[in-house]
Structure 1
Amino acid sequence: MSINPTFPIGIFDSGVGGISVLRAIREQMPEEHVIYFGDQGHIPYGPRPMEQIRNFSEAITDFLLERDAKIIVVACNTASAAALKYLRGRFPHIQFVGMEPAVKPAAEHTQTGKVGVLATPATFQGALYASVVERFANGVELFQNTCNGLVQEIERGNLTGGETRKILEDALLPMLEQNIDTVVLGCTHYPFVIPLIQQIVGEKVRVIDPAPSVARQVQRLLEAGGGKSQSSARGEVRFFTSGDPDALKTMLPVFLGEDAEVGKVEWLDDHVIAGKMPA
């Protein structure tokens, strides 16, 4: 399919987690324009019904396509589990890149045959995770934890505080007792606390961040379709949130390392959204 190289990459997540993927895309393709939608008004997605997450994802996709997104990154493991297959059927003219739990590289790397997986309940319950485990985890023992409350702490910018550490220790210390040597991050929020995770598990345990491989996949698809930007200038990033735009704006230097304007989006119902970028 033909892709206009001047159009932006569309990215969405339930909140700030997808900024870990945006960050990797900016490092890989700094010349690309990006539109980012954080559905902070509905966070967290993890405990929500699959059908509701699909409805949110469809409406956000419409929003991004109205703003000329040339490819859409579902930078949310929960939304990928609940909606990625549906979105590809609903919007066959656009390419989607989703988040797949990095069980395959973990299974290839582990020496002990024991791997920890941190993800949301919806990700663990989804067919995508089950498929990945069935295909790649033969002979590997997986230890799963939903890290309840961690997404909310990260949304608040609490990347090193006591409550964040407690959630991670409660998840990881029992896994270490089982002799895991690899940890899979199955939620795009979690890369922001990799330094804390590494402190807890030690340097001998590998922590797998899927964001760089997602960025490379986006680049491959754009190059294959002739849609990669040819500009030599750094691309613009536009943010939209269904939460508090001022709060998100103040957090961008922490999560992304750069500043940007943030537009406010209002949900009218599960299907219709409306919003504008600040002038």
Structure 2
Amino acid sequence: MPNASGHSNKAPSALIFDSGVGAISIAREIRQQIPALTLHFGVDNGFYPYGTKSEEILRPRIVEQATAMMAASGADILVVGCNTASTLALPQLREALQKPVVGVVPAVKPAAEETRTGTIALIATEGTVNRRYTRELIEEFANGRQVINVPAPELVRLAEAKLRGETVSAADLEPVLQRIFHSDGGDKVDIAVLACTHFPLLRDELARFAPRSIRWLDSGAAIARRVHWWLDELHLQLPAQAEPSRLFTSAPDPDRHIARAFAEFSPLAQTPAE
């Protein structure tokens, strides 16, 4: 029921959408900045991973699944916790939902502004590295900077392995570190942009095994600030504490890997999307 101000009495909530568990990195930032906001999770595991799929197939799939999960959750804000989905479908999602949609944009602009050497590395899935959106982002915000594109699809698998409790070793990360530091201009890199939401889950390991110290930059904190802005813009009042989260999946989770990965946001009820 709406209250006198026209808003529902239910606690404000946001749905964080991804094809896998990378959205956990975004959720952690939101939980840190806005602990009383209820978070729901929408995982399109039936189409995981997005990074290897074509744009023509992905765009309608993203809109369909995210729209269904928003309807099922009743969330006030959609957070697209996936760079691939954000670079492909934000306008279509905003049109379909008529609700705030917060997307993840690779942190190229702050990296370009803050680099002291003039050289940054952009670490992403192959799809994001090669997408026109990414090229235009670099042209607009990193003009005059050297940007080393580093495709690193294996980091998605390694981040998921880490969440299953497996150890990520120096040998696992060596191929990616080679692409960053031993490519043309790699000796001058001082900031690496983690342009996939899975990648911040490996920040500690990347920093530990890198041949030298650099900044590992992602968009998580900026996304959390944008969600906070929307809560103020919508005049949504937060309760003293968040309500239980819910997990929506597009396919069964027989080994409960996804549910276990999101267990830190308990209590959590799993609700497969229709």
Q: TM tier, shorter chain?
A: 0.7 to 0.9
Residues 202 and 212 of structure 1: CA distance in aligned 2, closer, same or farther (over 3 Å): farther
CA contact (8 A) 2:126 2:152 kept: no
Contact 1:21–1:215 (Cα < 8 Å) also in 2: yes
SS of 1:239 mapped into structure 2? strand
TM-score by length of 1: 0.85
Summarize the Cα distance change of 1:161–1:244 in structure 2 as closer, same or farther, 3 Å threshold. farther
Q: Which residue is equivalent to 1:199?
A: 208
Q: Quick one: distance in 2 between partners of 1:95 and 1:194?
A: 29
CA distance in 1, matches of 2:231, 2:119: 36
Two-structure CA RMSD over aligned residues (Å): 2.2
With over 3 angstroms needed to count, the CA separation of the structure-2 counterparts of 1:135 and 1:163, relative to structure 1, is: same
Equivalent residue runs for 1:1-279 within 5 Å = 4=8, 6-66=11-71, 67-91=73-97, 93-157=98-162, 158=166, 160-161=168-169, 164-175=172-183, 177-201=186-210, 204-227=213-236, 229-241=237-249, 242=251, 244=253, 246-253=256-263, 257-263=264-270, 265=272, 273-274=273-274
Specify the SS of the correspondent of 1:238.
Answer: strand
In 2: Cα distance, 1:19 partner to 1:218 partner: 15
- Once the two structures are TM-superposed, the CA of residue 184 in structure 1 deviates from its matched residue by 0.2
Tell me the TM-score normalized by structure 2: 0.86
Identity %: 29
Q: Which stretches in structure 2 are left out of the alignment for 5+ residues?
A: 1-5
Change (3 A) 1:250 1:191: same
How far the C-alpha of 1:6 sits from its partner, in A, is: 2.1
Mark the runs of 5 or more structure 1 residues left unpaired by the alignment.
Answer: 266-272, 275-279
Name the SS for the 1:57 alignment partner: helix
What's the offset of the Cα at 1:159? 5.6
Shift of the 204–167 alpha-carbon distance from structure 1 to 2, 3 Å rule, reads closer
Shift of 1:264: 5.4
Q: Is the 8 A contact 2:106 2:218 kept in 1?
A: no
Describe the SS at the equivalent of 2:75.
coil
Change (3 A) 1:23 1:159: farther
Amino acid aligned to 1:99: V
Distance 2:119 2:34 in 1: 35
Deviates more, 1:210-219 or 1:238-247: 238-247
Alpha-carbon separation, structure 1, partners of 2:13 and 2:259: 20
Task: State the 1:30 CA deviation.
Answer: 1.1
Paired letter, 1:86: Q
8 Å CA contact 1:149–1:167 kept in 2: the answer is no
Q: How many pairs does the alignment contain?
A: 261
Paired residue for 1:269?
A: none
Q: Which residue matches 2:3?
A: none
